[in-house]
Amino acid sequence: MTTPETPNGVVHRNIKAPQSEEISGPAAGTRNNMSDEDLRQWQKHAQRVKEKVLEQVQVQLSDLLDQALTETVESFTQTQATFNGKTTSKSAPRSQRTDDGKVFVARPSLLDELFEINHIRTIYHMFIAVLLMFGLSTLAVDYIDQGRIVLEFDLLFFAFGKLGAVVWAWAVMFLYTLLVPYLTLVIWGSLYHTCPSKLGLSLGTGLILSAVQTYVLGLFPIFVVVQYQLPPASRFIVILEQIRFLMKSYSFIRETGPVIMRNTPKEGESPRFPSLSSYLYFLFCPTLIYRESYPRNTHIRWKYVGITTGMIFGCLFYAYFILVRLCVPVFRPETKQPFSKRTMVLAVFHSILPGIMLLLLCFFAFLHCWLNLFGELLRFADRMFYKDWWNSTSFANYYRTWNVVVHDWLYQYGYRDFLWLSKKKFRTAAMLSVFIVSAVVHEYALAMGFGFFYPVLFFLFGIFGVVFNFAMNDKRQSPVYNVLMWASLFLGQGVQVCLYSQEWYAQIHCPRTENSFWEMVTPRSWSCSYQR
């Protein structure tokens, strides 16, 4: 039997192949193992990169979606026009698209979203570490000075003293704000469409309500603060609640009054009024713009409530340690040096660190924690109480994004109403009027809270703030302007902490000798030269 010849190349390949397989088998296995290990490492690396990219994109995407949703809702609610019972969807003119005011949509607070990113949460952890260092330093100093650990928190208890007077004063203001504006609206609305003199009825009702408002929400809180000599924190509670109740009651009347005037009831029917429960909800929910209904969450996250409450108390102790460790040792009378330009400049720059930390604490404790706490308890879904003000490259944007709750009220009832009265001719005057009103209210709160008049904030906010608002406007987009904005905040907070601290001790050790007007408005630190 003959075997057919095969080509040499084929024979060579068939013979060598098994040998090559035997020789390279272990090496090939090693290469396969290494390839599998590299593939697994690469997959893990790709997964980590994916997570990081998603975290970084999440915030920006959420902002874009919120903006798109808001614009969609505004476009839908503000451009539809009803004529003879038929709804048309023609686009309204640009000047009319904001006539319905603020639109509430369900959205979380910005910091809640940012805290889901590990890099941002690390900054939060750093602030907690600084708080722990403040506590340890206080314990160490007390142990060295007195030979034992002292946990008295005397300054904290002093600041929140006489809470009984605060509670009953708040109860009076709350009951008045709940009942009087609501009943006034119901009585006025019941008579408006049947009264022959609608203008006379409206003017008379408005004058009476304004007089009662001035007495109960205007003079009564001032009387309580002065008569009972409340300490600083208790004073601020009463005064800030006074301002809040005034703004809330005004928004309620301002939003519901025009609706009642426009909607004439049919014969035999009564006018439709907002329910008392919706007004009661409005008095506690974290917004200053009244609506009969708001977007609501389905349930309360009690774990979130507990964590937020703990953060509020943490911020309170944080502020206490800042004052005790960084402010009191510098400005108390025992360490006061003769006044000179050098000592003043050093005092201002020393106050920059505690000043900016107090600013960040006030923002985090109130605009984030406090408002989110009430929002969660009331299932209030629109949590946009602030925006990314820290990225601002202009003071105009900073003022709009620092406190969205108050900005919405000022824009709605200050800026827009001014433009409506002036037929949109004096936009600059409208902006200036809003600045002046805001600066006056801020200065009033500080004057009543500290117990003395020293218009530092008024000049910084009402004068320099206006200049910066026009000088650093929205056209400034370079990161350099963000640096300038932060530098201005640092210096402004240092000036405020320094001057208010000096005036506080001057008021204690150099009290007024008479009650004349100039004696009351002249800062005592200008003439007080106490020594110990």
Among all residues, which ones are annotated catalytic?
442
8 Å CB contact between 414 and 440: no
Instruction: Please list, in sequence order, all residues whose beta carbon lies within 8 angstroms of the beta carbon of residue 266, skipping any fewer than 6 positions away.
Output: none
Cα gap 131→311, rounded to integer Å: 12
**Residue 380 DSSP label:** B
Closest of 399, 368, 513, 517 to residue 453, by C-alpha: 517
Cα gap 386→114, rounded to integer Å: 13
Cα gap 508→231, rounded to integer Å: 13
Q: Nearest 5°: phi and psi at 152?
A: -100, -35
269 token code pair = 């029917």
Residue 523 has, within 13 A of its CA and on its CB side, a CA count of 15
Cα gap 420→435, rounded to integer Å: 18
Strand (E) or helix (H) holding 26: helix 8-79
244 token code pair = 């809040």
Q: For the CA atoms of the chain, what is the radius of gyration? A: 32
Cα gap 57→55, rounded to integer Å: 6
H, E, C per residue of 31-77: HHHHHHHHHHHHHHHHHHHHHHHHHHHHHHHHHHHHHHHHHHHHHHH
Q: Which residues share a beta bridge with 88?
A: 81
Q: Which residues share a beta bridge with 482?
A: none
Taking phi over 0 as left and psi of -120 to 50 as alpha, with beta for the rest, 103 belongs to beta
Other CB atoms within 10 Å distance of the CB of residue 78: 17
Cα gap 479→394, rounded to integer Å: 10
CA–centroid distance for 260 within its chain: 33
8 Å CB contact between 496 and 508: no
8 Å CB contact between 173 and 221: yes
